[in-house]
Amino acid sequence: MRIEEITGKAAGGYARADALTKEERTLIAKKAALKRWSGEIKEATHGSPDHPLRIGNVDLPCYVLEGEIRVLTQRGMQTGIGMSTSGGSSGAHRLALFIENLADKGVDCKDLAMRIRNPIHFRPGGGGYAAYGYEATILADICDAVLAARKKGGILSTQQTHIADQCEILVRGFARIGIIALIDEATGFQIDRKKDALAKILEAFVAKELQPYLTTFPSDFYEGMFTLRGLNFQKDSVKRPPYFGHLTNDVVYKRLAPGVLEELKKITPRNEKGQLKHRFFQHLTSNTGYPKLRERLGSIVTLMKLSTNWKDFMDKLDRIHPKYGETMMLPFDEYRDEQDSGKGL
């Protein structure tokens, strides 16, 4: 990235970096690193390991953090450029040494090494372990530096040429994605694109015609519900507590695919007593929605069997199958707060 292309506050940052000596940059990097590794953790507002940024054959786990900070995970970025992975400070050190070596050989890397030594500590949404990442633009800067080194010649070792090849793939991918995103924003199409994406999901999952009734929820599912709620399960009885329907929506349908539960509620008629005339699963497509439901139920039953109580089960479920973000029909906090033992009605 050329300095004349940079505007706003970023231009001042690059100008300051140019004015610093190598020793001053190192000192600033060390101070910032101490602060970064001190334990401050940002929360991710968007993103999932199941939905990485895909460029060619490269998957880059990405998140948006509080403050609208777009980040790529440290390990994902290392893998993306074809470098062997290591996490935490050792990963940052490996990347920084690589860039510093390029700078020592005459490649203009600006303050790239300093930025690499200061990854962002964040926690992905839906729980899980904290991770380290970098603001997304740093990857493009790394690619620019590596490709500049290849162009100069005699800088990259034989073992590092594959990194340059990988960076070229990424840069080409950035260009394609970038021009599409810019056109979508300029024309306002990104709004319709989001609607179209949801429509395609619903078309795949929700059938246009009512499917025949088949026994779908296994006995193990209800036995797990009863057991984890501290209730007596009778295999020869089909009676369920009324609120089990709400729990099933929360545990199963809200985690099946975006918008599916809301669409099922919309298209399933109710009788004069307000009861559903059909089961939700009768409106799922036979080739995608229904098989996905059966697969998900198998996973949920396994989690039930591995759990000691309702809270333990929900914690595991939130990590393995986080729910999508539609508004709930009824609040479920009463089943999840600290005073709820997870037992009884």
Residue 182 has pLDDT above 80, yes or no: no
- Angle at which helices 137-152 and 88-104 pack, to 10 degrees? 40
* Lowest-confidence segment of 1-5, 85-89, 216-220 by average pLDDT: 1-5
Q: Are 300 and 321 in contact (CB under 8 A)?
A: yes
Structure tokens at 175: 């260009």
Q: And the tokens for 66? A: 């509080």
Lookup result for tokens 């059938």: 207
Give counts: helices (H), strands (E), the chain. Answer: 14, 7
142 with 96: CB under 8 angstroms? Answer: no
pLDDT above 70: residue 70: yes
Share of the chain above pLDDT 90, in %: 35
pLDDT at 164: 93
Reported confidence tier of residue 6, pLDDT bands at 50, 70, 90 = very low
The pLDDT score that the predictor gives to residue 145 is 93
For the cut 70, the answer to whether the pLDDT of residue 44 exceeds it is yes
DSSP secondary structure string for all residues of 77-89: HHHHTTPPP--HH
Instruction: Say what the pLDDT of residue 268 is.
Output: 92
CA dihedral 89, 95, 97, 102 (to 10 degrees): -160
Would strands 62-65 and 58-60 be described as parallel, antiparallel, or unpaired?
unpaired
Query: Does pLDDT of 46 surpass 90?
Result: no
Share the mean pLDDT of the chain.
81
Contact present, 73 and 132 (Cβ < 8 Å): yes
Query: Which among 150, 147, 167 is positioned nearest to 158, based on CA atoms?
Result: 150
Instruction: Give 120-138 pLDDT, tens digit per residue.
Output: 999 887 666 788 899 988 9
What gap in Å lies between CA 230 and CA 225, rounded to an integer? 9
pLDDT at 9: 47
Q: Which amino acid is at 267?
A: I
Residue 268 to residue 124: CA distance in whole angstroms: 35
Please tell me the predicted confidence (pLDDT) of residue 13: 56
Mean pLDDT along residues 201-205:
85
In tens, the pLDDT along 242-275 reads: 899 999 999 999 999 988 999 999 999 988 888 8
Q: Scanning the structure block, which residue is given the tokens 């970096």?
A: 17
* Residue 329, pLDDT above cutoff 60: no
331 pLDDT band, cuts 50/70/90, is: very low
CB-based contact 98:83 (threshold 8 Å): yes
What residue ranges do the domains of the chain occupy?
3-187, 203-336
Q: Is the pLDDT of residue 312 over 70?
A: yes
Residue 208 binned pLDDT confidence (cut-offs 50, 70, 90): confident
**Pairing label, strands 58-60, 53-55:** antiparallel
pTM for the model stands at 0.48
pLDDT at res. 17: 60
β-strands 120-123, 42-46 pairing: parallel
CB 202 within 8 A of CB 265: no
Q: Is 73 helix (H, G, I), strand (E, B) or coil?
A: strand
State the Cα–Cα distance between residues 279 and 215, nearest whole angstrom: 10
What is the rounded average pLDDT of the residues 283-311?
94
Decide: 125 and 63 in contact? Cβ < 8 Å.
yes
Residue 253, token pair as written in the block: 């349908």
DSSP 42: E
Confidence at residue 325, expressed as pLDDT on a 0 to 100 scale: 61
Q: What is the DSSP letter of 212?
A: P
Answer yes or no: is pLDDT of 336 > 80.
no
At 333 the pLDDT is: 44
Number of Cα atoms under 13 Å in the Cβ half of residue 250: 19
